[in-house]
Chain A
């Protein structure tokens, strides 16, 4: 079975490729890449990509698939379909399921279901501690054997510094990164939005930037102590960006990701008590958004990841303080990143790098590249197609997005995983 994607502008930062090429796929892997028109390859299937961008499939290294346990919000099938629709060919899913992915049995179960029902690749992330409680180390070795790619207590801050040190040291054996949800739970206690003037007039307890900064500082220090790989999840503050920048200069093995919402909108999105803009870490100030954009530009922030966090109306149609944290991300990730390109923050190549090869390298998985022999995980994008986000037409089971009604330029037309088309934009809907 051969497929050719012909005539597209291929951008693959992993091999500094940027130009008109035909991509030949055979048996699910990249067979070769030829300058457009040069190849004389008989294909069973030709995808005409003239005028389109052909890039490695996006790897979203921070996703909550809610499966097992919270299938009413999302499951592996719907979550990976949302991914495919967003041009995402692989997701790394966080461990805060029910039961928690803190043992190999759950890891295996997730991988089995992903194999049976998934539309894109699924890489589970194992809990660092049992039940995400921060008290006992989880069986990271067994989960690693079962297929986890990283460890994290994401959603629950790891309060004990001693425990964090042990998790970092223990993970050295498996050469896996520890993903830190950097939040001091005492400083953030009862907080439901960014701390500042807006929290004052809305009468809500705020989460100060310091809640993130002190933990990023601690974790960087512990990474230096142990030599272990640290990855800062959903960086949201100016201070944290500076800390990571300085640590990288010192040679600390630290990487960082930013979520599209944190580089696009500010805390003002929660005005009127909009629970669809409530998340953790919270939307911050203009100053922080600027700092994150700067961090993306100068390479301090390596990856763009969504923190895709589906919730139903049961968790969102309630008092602001009671509402669950989190918003959808998979289906708005690419257009929000392209907006950044449009605004001149990143070149298209740099943006694609942060969506593909960088996350692949951080979690140590194949993909994020169109090099010969790599799995044919490919996203084909029309940069000029306009579309308006409609929460009622998303592939996710949930609707919690603050971007409902936003109009974007740039749309995924095809998503291929192992050479198979897993999503194709229906043009005449």
Chain B
């Protein structure tokens, strides 16, 4: 089997069997990163452009390493401004990149939907590496891989996502992904930080942190997205931390085998206390390690899909 679409724009577009394919592929590619010589020739001759309109250390590095471990040529472009500032339209930017024949374009953008707009203008596959408050599919997939590793399976688990849901693309991708995989998702945060009609996505709302974590198998703490906040959503970080920060005392009411996750970067002492972030329940660094495997899988599967397509095109041409 292979992926159905040319692009990975969001978990919303993926079916459960595609998600499982990605997770299994990532699992099977992990050994590359554990070897002494961390390189295989799988993507030799492929060109991958990391087009980052928004600052990122973790995700960009992770995609870069993933591409390089499979011998692709990886080019990083930091486009610091949107088309509004630059005077070039987003579609022009996309067409210019396409003219250089990349195989995959990895896009991070502060504006929701930008990767989709780009994908409509290029032949290359587009991977959304996080767009505005919309989706962050590769983060969600690495979260799934991590949960599967720790818990054995995802189906039937109860996952609590806590914090600034409104501005979180990670929350949206994870609600889609986890519910597709058969987990139950609860969300909790100040009402000012919950987007309208979030329940319709399949998550149920708990009013307080304690109510949300009491029966959770996995707790995902979200970063406060200060850079995306435009209104008076909560008074102070102190009060945020008091009501929705996860600390050791609070954690006592959680299950004894609970797993704590955070997509990073962590606002230590605000949404999560240092002793919890570094504590025994935390798998934050495993998440990062799995990120490389997931991104290798995405690059591999999209390239394979392209390869199949071009072989099919060539066959069709020969037959005509």
Task: Judge whether B230 and A321 touch: CB under 8 Å.
Answer: no
**A204 vs B135: C-alpha distance when bound (angstroms):** 11
If A189-B231, A205-B230, A273-B116 touch, whether A317 touches B197 (CB-CB below 8 Å) is no
| In the assembled complex, A388 has its CB within 8 A of some CB on chain B | no
Q: Which of B66-89 contact A (CB under 8 A)?
A: 82-84, 89
A364–B171 Cα distance when bound, in Å, is 54
Q: Hey, what's the 0/1 contact readout for A307-319 against B, CB within 8 Å counting as 1?
A: 0000001100111
A273 touches B113 (CB 8 A): yes
Number of chain A interface residues as a range: 20 to 34
Q: Let me know if B196 and A319 touch, CB within 8 A.
A: no
Residues 163 to 199 of chain A near chain B (Cβ within 8 Å): 189-190, 195-197, 199
Tell me the minimal C-beta distance from B173 to chain A in angstroms. Answer: 10
B113 contacts A319, CB within 8 Å?
yes
How far apart are B219's CB and chain A's nearest CB, in angstroms? 22
- Of A196, A204, A313, the contact of B112 (CB 8 Å cutoff): A204
Whether B116 pairs with A319 at a CB distance below 8 angstroms is no
User: A365 at the A/B interface (Cβ < 8 Å)?
Assistant: no
Instruction: List residues of A (219-278) whose CB comes within 8 Å of B's CBs.
Output: 272-273
Contact of B131 among A189, A195, A201, A203 (CB under 8 A): A203
- Whether B196 contacts A204 by the Cβ 8 Å rule is no
Docked complex Cα distance between A189 and B233 (Å): 14
Q: Which of A197, A199, A202, A319 has the most CB of B within 10 A?
A: A319
Residue of B nearest to A187 (CB): B231
Contact of A318 with B90 in the complex, beta carbons under 8 Å: yes
CA distance A313 to B91 in the complex (A): 9
> Interface size of B by Cβ–Cβ distance < 8 Å?
30
Contact string against B for A residues 203-220, beta-carbon threshold 8 Å, 1 for contact and 0 otherwise: 111100000000000000
**Nearest Cβ on chain B to A270's Cβ, whole angstroms:** 9
B192 at the interface (CB under 8 A from A): no
Contact across chains for B133 and A204 when beta carbons are under 8 A apart: yes
Of the residues B83, B112, B197, contact of A273 by C-beta under 8 Å? B112
Cβ contact within 8 Å between B231 and A319: no
B230→A190 contact, CB < 8 A: yes
B197 near A319 with CB under 8 A, answer no
- Whether A123 sits at the interface, judged by CB under 8 Å, is no
Given contacts A318-B82, A318-B89, A318-B90, contact A203 B116 (CB under 8 A): no
* Contact across chains for A318 and B84 when beta carbons are under 8 A apart: yes
Q: Enumerate chain A residues within 8 angstroms of B116, measured Cβ to Cβ.
A: 272-273
Residue-wise interface mask of B (114-142) relative to A, using a CB-CB cutoff of 8 A (1 in contact, 0 not):
10110000000000000111110000000
Residue of A314, A318, A322 with most partner-chain B CB within 10 A = A318
Q: Interface on A for B, CB 8 Å cutoff?
A: 189-190, 195-197, 199-206, 272-273, 313-314, 317-322
Extra inter-chain contacts (15) besides given A200-B198, A206-B196, CB under 8 Å: A189-B230, A189-B231, A195-B196, A196-B196, A197-B197, A200-B195, A200-B197, A201-B201, A203-B113, A203-B131, A203-B134, A205-B133, A318-B84, A320-B113, A320-B117
7 interchain pairs, CB-CB under 8 A: A197-B201, A203-B112, A205-B133, A272-B116, A273-B112, A317-B89, A321-B112
Question: Interface of B with A (CB < 8 Å)?
Answer: 12, 82-84, 89-92, 109, 111-114, 116-117, 131-135, 169, 172, 195-198, 200-201, 230-231
